[in-house]
Each structure stands twice: as structure tokens, then as C-alpha cells.
Structure 1
Amino acid sequence: MRMRMQDVAPQDYRDAMACLGAAVNIVTTDGSAGRAGFTASAICSVTDDPPTLLVCINRGSSAYSSVTRNEVVCVNVLSARHEPLSRLFGGKVPADERFAAAAWSTLATGAPVLADCSAAFDCRIADTVNVGTHDVLFCRVVALQRFGCTDNLIYFGRAYHTVGVTDPAEAGPESALDAS
């Protein structure tokens, strides 16, 4: 016998999600639909073969049209020093002002790569699923760059926090999580 699911109030859900710490990232895009970017914590690894990330974007986001039409993104993993930049990309600031606040380069897709981020995952959007107010983007990683991850920025309890290692040697490739 199948039980009927109870509705969970959106505020109760948001309050519970505040207990789930998550890495803070800036997701960027560039192409014929324009350059855009937004701060995101709803990102995770799907698989390492082929390397694929899941990125959630609100369809009401100012970056939504550019992201979905360009079909490329770069997930820039932020360190503690990027908190002000995260706030900038998470606000109502025009795209040109957001990008003027930091140095950027590119990898394979042309999506902006933050010059001093912990890691950058350059991706092509392989698939999209609509869920509620968001699109879930399945992003195939076509290039990456790792700059070091000693003090990453996370969001937990509706506030920014820093996590990291005390010995930078501990942040080497052998510390990577299995993407399975």
C-alpha cells in the first residue's frame, strides 16, 4: 500500500536546508547569449566517467537565459577570500560590475574562470531537467584547473564559514573525494 506524501511547507524546508553545509561557487557563462554569473551552493558531483556535475539554477535568475542559451558553464569553487565576490554575484548587481571585481581567464568553453579560485570545472550542459522553480543542469566537465584548496568557503546556517586544512600538503590530489 502506497502512503500519501505530506506536503512540507517551503519555509520548513528552507529552515532544514540551513543545516546542510555546502560549498560556495560562482557559476559563469559566456557566449552568443552574453556573459553572466551567479553564486550557487546547489552543485554536486554526479559521476567521474564521464566527469559530470549537477548544477541547479533558478529560472528567475538574471543569469538563466544566458546560461541555458550558451549551453556552457564554469563552476568556480571559492576560497574564504572570495566571500565579498560571492555576495556580489548573489545580488542584484549588473553582470559587468560583477566581472569587473575580479580577474578572469578561460579554458575550453570560453566560460569565465576566476583567476584565483580553488578549482574550476569548465563544462558543456549535457542535459536539463525542470524541477519546481529550478532547472537541474547536468554539466559534462571538458576541462578543469585546480589552484589549491586549503581554505574553501561554505554556506551553513545561513552564514558563510571557512573549512580547510592546516597543512597545504594535505590538499594534494590524493585528498580528492571519489566521485562515485
Structure 2
Amino acid sequence: METAVSKTEFRNAMARVCAPVNVITTNGPAGRGGFTATAMCSVTDEPPTLLVCMNSRSAQTGLFIENRRFCVNVLTGEHKGLASSFAGQQADMDARYAAAEWINLKSGNQALADAIVSFDCRLVEARLVGTHNIFIGEVAEIRTRKDGHALLYFDRNYVHVPTMAGSFGG
């Protein structure tokens, strides 16, 4: 019989996977919220859809589900402090938002003014899997920026990797 992979072994292995750092925001009838996430990816382009994972023990879970909207803000290397704040270092939501400039979107959500890209999404499905909720969002609006380098998370640390255009031949 095969031995199951332990929680620690899995978490240590996932720490070796490099991922972009995102601040996920919501604003609506239930109020304003936000958290830092690396578990975000595209699902399909017909219709444009992505997913985000959020710990189900978060006090904000109900807020995101009730608002039925979220915005994925992809961070730059200059956003390390903001990432830490939205990761829970700063408990007060107003203080988290006060640390940056935000743009009001048509949906009522707020996008980080200087994010590399922001995806404003309508929540179409929320599914609990183990310890996390998977939020599937249909993209309603996109804001992009032409410059900036992504903030990444690797080996349990924020890493800023500048673009090396042309160095891989292509």
C-alpha cells in the first residue's frame, strides 16, 4: 500500500513553486475586504475566467461570497509591504487600503492603481476543497500597466525578478 503524502511534505514541495503575488479585493453590500494570494490562475478564455483560492478559515470568506465580486491585482516588486499588509500583517482593513492608491471600477470593486494587471471578476462559483475555497470568476474588466516587474513568491519569501528581455533568444 502506498504511503500518503504528508501535509508538511506537500507544503515544503509547494514552497519550491514560484508564483506571482496578488492582492485580491472585494467591495459590495457586505463591505470591503482583501487578502494576499499566490493561488491564482486562468481557467479558460471563453469566457475569460480565472480562479483564486482562499483559506476557508478566513473571517472574510462570507464577505467575498456575499459580494459576488472580486478583483485580482498582480503586484510589482515595489509592493512587498502591501503584500505583507494584506497577508494579515495589518489586521485593520482601512489601514490596508490606506497604504496604496485605488481606482474605483464600474462594478464597485477597487483596483490597485499601479498593479501590473487587475482583473475585475464576477464570482460564478465558490467551491470548498479541503481547507480552501476555490473562487471561480468571470472577468468583466481588465486594467493593465505597460511597465513594472512582477513580485514573486518562492521558498516562503517575496522575490523581485527583473525582466530579462531578449536573454532567452526569441
Q: TM-score, normalised by structure 2?
A: 0.91
RMSD: 1.5
| Residue in structure 2 matched with residue 57 of structure 1 by the alignment | 54
Residues in 1 aligned to 2:72 and 2:110: alpha-carbon distance in whole angstroms: 9
Identity over aligned residues, as a percent?
A: 42
User: Of the candidates 6, 12, 17, which is equivalent to residue 15 of structure 1?
Assistant: 12
- For 1:133, the aligned partner's letter is T
Whether the aligned pair in 2 keeps the contact of 1:36 and 1:63 (CA below 8 Å) is yes
Instruction: Give the aligned length.
Output: 165
Instruction: Name the residue aligned to 2:35.
Output: 38
The whole-number CA distance in structure 1 between the counterparts of 2:116 and 2:162 is: 11
Q: How far off its partner does 1:21 sit?
A: 0.5
- Structure 2 residues without counterparts, runs of 5 or longer: none
Give the secondary structure class of the aligned counterpart of 2:107: coil
Which residue of the partner structure matches residue 105 of structure 2?
107
Task: Describe how 1:117-156 pairs up with structure 2 within 5 A.
Answer: 117-156=115-154
Distance, in Å, in 2 between the alignment partners of 1:95 and 1:132 is 26
Question: Corresponding residue for 1:74?
Answer: 71
Deviates more, 1:51-60 or 1:105-114: 105-114
Cα pair 1:54 1:139 within 8 Å, conserved: yes
SS of equivalent residue, structure 2 residue 97: helix
Matches within 5 A, 1:157-172: 157-166=155-164
**Whole-angstrom distance in 1 between the partners of 2:81 and 2:12:** 24
Distance 2:53 2:45 in 1: 19
| SS, match of residue 7 in structure 1 | coil
User: Distance between the aligned counterparts of 2:130 and 2:147, measured in 1?
Assistant: 33
Aligned-partner Cα distance in 2 for 1:57–1:47:
20
Match of 1:178 in 2: none
Give the drift of 1:5. Answer: 5.9
Taking structure 1 as the reference length, the TM-score comes to 0.87
| Structure-2 residue corresponding to 1:86 | 83
**Superposed displacement of residue 111, structure 1:** 1.3
Residue identity in the other structure for 1:30: N
Matched residue type, 1:136 = I
Q: Which amino acid aligns with 1:150?
A: G
Unaligned runs of 5+ in 1: 171-180
8 Å CA contact 1:119, 1:148 repeated in 2 = no
Moved over 3 A (4+): none
Secondary structure of 1:86's match?
helix
